[in-house]
């Protein structure tokens, strides 16, 4: 028997025969083990088969086939997923939200097919699994390709990841068509999801999955199939893609074929004789829903007869022969204990509800969003109220309504505070806007990291080496809290920084040098760096141009906090600065802690250079329209643009007959061609720098 022929004595032909036999035998044991839960060989015997398979493949790598058992787990990580064009598009389903919608669906089917009144329409009703759809291709009974839905036309090749799925047959039982493409849903059972998340939490993983659907999607789309192999993914098959021969006349029969071949088919699926039976199924599944071991979000009805399906065809992206009857979002009643406010990284205040914990759709909910103050007022949510909350799929739980007759005596309408709950700065809600914002900016813990990142960024103080990661690090380790602290870093924390992991003498010194180089800054950058709402680079420049010096600007802004002052009048009279921008500037200067932070910062700088308005009349490019194209060597595109604008030029994005100059860097493309065609003056970077006097 070939089984006993030592691997090193096999001829290539014998090896091929032996590999095929091993593949089949291993697949059979896998099915017995995973699907029937009834292994017929011991683990040791099973291992021997796999080892022999591996040994033969090591000697004859050219014989490793697409269904090799060795490819089921642990293949090398991929660079990225390959693209797969679906032989037939993967469609989506039209939705029905009520019993009437479903009756209407069946009515349409009848009309379309011209069926007599008494002709029954058989429908297959299936739980709609909340996972992600997948296409599985088998050739001559062997699994060869698995792909995600993607945009319906083209998906990603996840074959290697699917090989480790216990529910997926690598080889089909019995005779199979030459080509068979089956579609189904990858999902994660609730219990598996909980166990996996607990294990992740125990292992100190920062990110837990929000729900089984996300967990399934995240686990399948791993570039390393060995990771997917360790995730508890499940599969249900429910549809036909491409097929080379007819194997069934109806969907119901087709599902039976799927089971015979070894696919998992949901055993709750029912064949319904008419719409009433289908609706009864929907309502009974709806009641069972919370107890099911997996998440479902509705019921799918499919016209059973394949010939009718073919006649019905599809409208845009969904078949006329199927529809998804969705469950309403799951709701529950609970008590709204408290209305709290969170502060986002940009200072936006968002009210949220702290709830008496309650289970909604299998998940314990103790917080829910309240959107904004106006919504709270409109729906009159009060602390102590009994409220209805709902959770739909991935969506954050929401508070939808108050149960009016359960309101406790003495419950007061909620009043938003005009104070930030984090830093206690003034929180303002401009007229007509839905969102209240903290004015604390640089002093607010919720915002300070974001603000410091902005402060050090390229178009602001431009401190090289002080990007997001390092700002975050220096803040979390308590080394910088304000912009001024950045300029104190060397003096106070030099030794500490040099001894930090990933830092050393040279890298720390480099950062200190970069910081020192910015002790002289131009006024426009200084203003922009403060991160006042609506004050971008252009406004920074405008303010610098109008106020000339840091002292003058700061003094004027402090006065402008009084809306009756001349300074306020002057501020809003500046072209391009309206009351809204001016209001944000004034609000910023009205806060003592902002004034303190600026004072502190100025004290650490050597000089704030007056931004001298270029004598635009003398500027060779005043009033000219300039277009930059290609990459520039000595300065960035942003710098070049800012420079041109400060010299009175307009910078345009595309070339037209109105363009005066096109500045062409290397690799200039179509804009350059167009400039040539239109006879626009083309300058090299050198010529441009010469023109503007560097
Ligand atoms: S049939 C052309 N059956 O629902 C019909 N889909 O909204 C193809 N789904 O993309 C789908 N359970 O991911 C079908 N029993 C079931 C389903 C099901 C879940 C998903 C599937 C599809 C989406 C459509």
- Say yes or no: CB of residue 241 within 6 Å of ligand 1: no
**pLDDT score, position 203:** 83
- Say yes or no: CB of residue 251 within 6 Å of ligand 1: no
Is the distance from CB of 37 to CB of 264 less than 8 angstroms? no
Residue 281 lies in a domain: yes
Q: Which atom of ligand 1 is nearest to the CA of 319?
A: 2
Instruction: Answer with the residue of higher pLDDT: 658 or 555.
Output: 555
Residue with CA at minimum distance from ligand 1 atom 7: 93
Q: Which atom of ligand 1 is nearest to the CA of 269?
A: 15
Q: Rg of the chain over CA atoms, in angstroms?
A: 34
Question: 92 alpha carbon to ligand 1 midpoint, in Å?
Answer: 7
Residue 620 lies in a domain: no
Q: Which atom of ligand 1 is nearest to the CA of 91?
A: 2
Residue 439 lies in a domain: no
Q: Can you give the CATH number for the domain in which 30 is found?
A: 1.10.287.610
Q: Residue 617: pLDDT above 90?
A: no
**pLDDT score, position 395:** 61
Task: State the Cα–Cα distance between residues 289 and 291, nearest whole angstrom.
Answer: 5
Residue 661 lies in a domain: yes
Instruction: Answer with the residue of higher pLDDT: 649 or 561.
Output: 561
Q: Residue 490: pLDDT above 80?
A: yes
Q: Residue 666: pLDDT above 80?
A: yes
Residue 373 lies in a domain: yes
Question: 568 alpha carbon to ligand 1 midpoint, in Å?
Answer: 61
Residue with CA at minimum distance from ligand 1 atom 2: 91
Question: Dihedral sign, CA of 203, 204, 206, 212?
Answer: positive
Q: Residue 103 is inside which H or E element, if any?
A: helix 99-113
Question: Active-site positions?
Answer: 128
Task: State the Cα–Cα distance between residues 285 and 299, nearest whole angstrom.
Answer: 8
Across the strands, what pairs with 607?
520
What angle is formed at CA 125 by the lines to CA 291 and CA 118, rounded to 5 degrees? Answer: 140
Phi and psi dihedrals of 273, rounded to 5? -95, 85
Q: Which atom of ligand 1 is nearest to the CA of 324?
A: 7
Task: State the Cα–Cα distance between residues 432 and 446, nearest whole angstrom.
Answer: 25
- Say yes or no: CB of residue 334 within 6 Å of ligand 1: no
Q: Per-residue pLDDT tens for 563-606?
A: 999 999 989 887 778 888 999 999 899 989 899 999 999 999 99
- Say yes or no: CB of residue 91 within 6 Å of ligand 1: yes
Name which of 548, 553, 540 is nearest 455 in CA terms: 540
User: Is there a single domain that holds both residue 592 and residue 531?
Assistant: yes
What average pLDDT does the segment 295-320 reach? 92
User: Is there a single domain that holds both residue 221 and residue 203?
Assistant: yes
Phi and psi dihedrals of 364, rounded to 5? -80, 125
Q: Per-residue pLDDT tens for 371-428?
A: 889 999 999 999 999 999 987 655 678 899 999 999 999 999 999 999 999 889 899 9
Residue with CA at minimum distance from ligand 1 atom 1: 239
Residue 370 lies in a domain: yes
Name which of 538, 516, 547, 523 is nearest 598 in CA terms: 523
Q: Which domain holds residue 466?
A: 444-518
User: Is there a single domain that holds both residue 155 and residue 136?
Assistant: yes
- Say yes or no: CB of residue 124 within 6 Å of ligand 1: no
Q: Can you give the CATH number for the domain in which 551 is found?
A: 1.10.150.20
Name which of 29, 56, 262, 255 is nearest 141 in CA terms: 262
Residue with CA at minimum distance from ligand 1 atom 9: 128
Instruction: Answer with the residue of higher pLDDT: 9 or 162.
Output: 162
Percent of the chain whose predicted confidence (pLDDT) is above 70: 93
User: Is there a single domain that holds both residue 128 and residue 231?
Assistant: yes
Is the distance from CB of 146 to CB of 158 less than 8 angstroms? yes
Q: Per-residue pLDDT tens for 335-372?
A: 999 999 988 877 889 899 999 999 886 678 899 989 88
The count of structural domains within the chain is 6
Q: How much is the pTM? A: 0.50
Which of 97, 128, 298, 299 gets mutated to test ligand 1 (max ligand atoms within 8 A of its CB)? Answer: 128
Structure token digits, residue 332: 């529950």
Question: 128 alpha carbon to ligand 1 midpoint, in Å?
Answer: 6
Residue with CA at minimum distance from ligand 1 atom 18: 128
Number of helices followed by number of strands (H, E) in the chain? 25, 26
- Say yes or no: CB of residue 303 within 6 Å of ligand 1: no
**pLDDT score, position 38:** 53
User: Is there a single domain that holds both residue 601 and residue 500?
Assistant: no
Residue 430 lies in a domain: no
Q: Which atom of ligand 1 is nearest to the CA of 92?
A: 24
Mean residue pLDDT across the chain: 88
**pLDDT score, position 479:** 95
- Say yes or no: CB of residue 323 within 6 Å of ligand 1: no
- Say yes or no: CB of residue 236 within 6 Å of ligand 1: no
Q: Residue 457: pLDDT above 80?
A: yes
- Say yes or no: CB of residue 619 within 6 Å of ligand 1: no
User: Is there a single domain that holds both residue 477 and residue 531?
Assistant: no
For 530-546, b where at least 16 C-beta lie within 10 A, e where not — what string?
bbbbebebebbbbbbbb
Of 326, 348, 370, which residue is a domain's last?
326
**pLDDT score, position 216:** 93
């Amino acid at each position: 028997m070939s089984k006993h022929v030592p691997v090193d004595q096999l001829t290539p032909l014998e090896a091929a025969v032996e590999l095929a036999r091993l593949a089949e035998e291993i697949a059979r044991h896998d099915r017995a083990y995973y699907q029937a839960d009834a292994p017929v060989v011991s683990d040791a015997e099973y291992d021997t088969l796999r080892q022999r398979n591996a040994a033969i493949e090591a000697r004859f790598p050219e014989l490793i086939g697409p269904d090799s058992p060795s490819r089921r787990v642990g293949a090398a990580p991929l660079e990225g997923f390959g693209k797969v064009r679906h032989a037939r598009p993967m469609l989506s389903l039209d939705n029905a939200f009520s019993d009437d919608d479903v009756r209407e669906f069946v009515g349409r089917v009848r009309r379309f097919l011209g069926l007599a009144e008494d002709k029954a329409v058989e429908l297959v009703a299936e739980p709609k699994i909340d996972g992600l759809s997948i296409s599985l291709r088998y050739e001559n009974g062997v699994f060869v390709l698995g792909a995600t839905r993607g945009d319906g036309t083209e998906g990603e090749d996840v074959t290697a990841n699917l090989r480790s799925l216990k529910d997926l047959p690598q080889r089909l039982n019995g005779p199979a068509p030459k080509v068979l493409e089956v579609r189904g849903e990858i999902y994660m059972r609730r219990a598996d999801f909980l166990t996996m998340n607990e294990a992740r939490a125990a292992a100190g993983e920062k990110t837990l999955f929000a729900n089984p659907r996300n967990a399934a999607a995240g686990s399948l789309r791993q570039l390393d199939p060995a990771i997917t192999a360790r995730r508890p993914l499940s599969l249900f098959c429910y549809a036909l893609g491409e097929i080379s021969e007819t194997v069934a006349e109806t969907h119901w029969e087709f599902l039976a074929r799927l089971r015979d071949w070894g696919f998992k088919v949901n055993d709750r699926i029912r064949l319904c004789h008419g719409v009433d039976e289908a609706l009864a199924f929907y309502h009974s599944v709806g009641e069972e829903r919370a107890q099911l071991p997996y998440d479902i979000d509705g019921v799918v009805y499919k016209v059973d007869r394949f010939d009718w399906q073919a006649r019905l065809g599809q409208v845009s992206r969904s078949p006329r022969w199927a529809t998804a009857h969705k469950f309403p979002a799951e709701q529950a009643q609970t008590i709204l204990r408290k209305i709290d406010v969170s502060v986002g990284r940009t200072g936006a205040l968002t009210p949220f509800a702290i709830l008496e914990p309650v289970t909604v759709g299998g998940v314990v909910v103790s917080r829910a969003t309240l959107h904004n103050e106006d919504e709270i007022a409109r729906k009159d949510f009060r602390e102590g109220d009994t409220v209805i909350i709902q959770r739909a799929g991935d969506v954050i739980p929401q508070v939808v309504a108050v149960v009016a007759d359960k309101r406790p005596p003495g419950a007061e309408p909620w009043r938003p505070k005009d104070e930030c709950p984090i830093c206690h700065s003034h929180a303002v809600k401009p007229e007509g806007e839905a969102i209240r914002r903290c004015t604390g900016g640089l002093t607010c813990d919720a915002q300070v990291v974001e603000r410091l990142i902005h402060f050090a960024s390229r178009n602001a103080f431009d401190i090289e080496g002080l990007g997001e990661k390092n700002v975050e690090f220096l803040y979390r380790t308590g080394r910088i809290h304000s912009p001024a602290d950045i300029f104190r870093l060397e003096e106070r924390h030099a030794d500490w920084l040099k001894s930090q992991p990933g830092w050393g003498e040279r890298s720390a010194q480099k950062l200190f040098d970069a910081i020192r180089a910015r002790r002289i800054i131009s006024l426009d950058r200084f203003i922009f760096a403060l991160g006042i709402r609506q004050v971008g680079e252009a406004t920074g420049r405008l303010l610098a141009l109008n106020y000339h010096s840091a002292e003058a600007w700061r003094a004027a802004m402090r006065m402008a906090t009084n809306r009756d002052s001349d300074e306020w009048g002057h501020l809003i009279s500046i072209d391009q600065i309206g009351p809204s921008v001016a209001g944000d500037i004034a609000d910023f200067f009205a806060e003592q802690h902002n004034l303190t932070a600026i004072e502190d910062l100025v004290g650490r700088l050597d000089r704030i250079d007056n931004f001298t308005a270029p004598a635009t009349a003398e500027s060779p490019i005043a009033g000219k329209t300039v277009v930059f194209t290609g990459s520039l060597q000595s300065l960035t595109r942003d710098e070049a643009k800012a420079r041109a604008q400060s010299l009175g030029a307009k910078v345009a994005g595309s070339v037209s007959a109105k363009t005066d100059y096109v500045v062409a860097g290397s690799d200039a493309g179509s804009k350059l061609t167009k400039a040539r065609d239109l006879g626009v003056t083309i300058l090299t970077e050198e010529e441009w720098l010469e023109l503007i006097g560097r």
